[in-house]
């Protein structure tokens, strides 16, 4: 881990998850921990998707990595919403 380390990545994941939850319309249901988890899983998913298409995944603690995590978190939340039918986790 670079930059701010573990706490920084939690903050980045939480922020990406929160923005993604606003986009996906799930913010009222998932809370802070859900946002953090969605952002962290989203970083992995986003990195995988971006690598599939020849782009860079999570490259460090920077704006690009935030965008990758955000896209991944939106994907994760859309899949979760489709599976659960929009019910609270």
Domain ranges of the chain: 5-83
The answer to whether the beta carbons of residues 23 and 35 sit under 8 Å apart is no
Has residue 2 got a pLDDT over 60? Answer: no
Q: Is the pLDDT of residue 72 over 80?
A: yes
Predicted local distance difference test score (pLDDT) of residue 57: 67
- Confidence check: pLDDT of 73 > 80: yes
pLDDT digits (tens, 9 = 90+) for 13-48: 788 888 888 888 777 777 778 887 888 888 788 878
Overall pTM surpassing 0.85 (yes/no):
no
The average confidence (pLDDT) of the chain is 78
Q: Indicate the helix (H) or strand (E) that contains 71.
A: helix 63-84
Task: Let me know if 83 is exposed, middle or buried by CB neighbors in 10 A (0-12, 13-18, 19+).
Answer: exposed
Cα–Cα distances (Å) from 55 to 10, 16, 25, 59, in that order, read 23, 19, 27, 11
Which range has the worst mean pLDDT, 41-50, 55-64, 78-87? 55-64
């Amino acid at each position: 881990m670079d930059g701010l380390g573990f706490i920084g990545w939690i903050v980045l994941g939480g922020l990406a998850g929160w923005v993604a939850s606003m986009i996906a319309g799930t913010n009222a249901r998932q809370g802070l921990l859900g946002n953090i988890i969605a952002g962290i899983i989203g970083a992995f998913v986003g990195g995988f998707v971006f690598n599939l298409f020849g782009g860079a995944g999570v490259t460090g603690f920077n704006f690009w990595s935030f965008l990758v995590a955000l896209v991944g978190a939106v994907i994760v939340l859309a899949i979760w919403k489709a599976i659960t039918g929009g019910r609270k986790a």
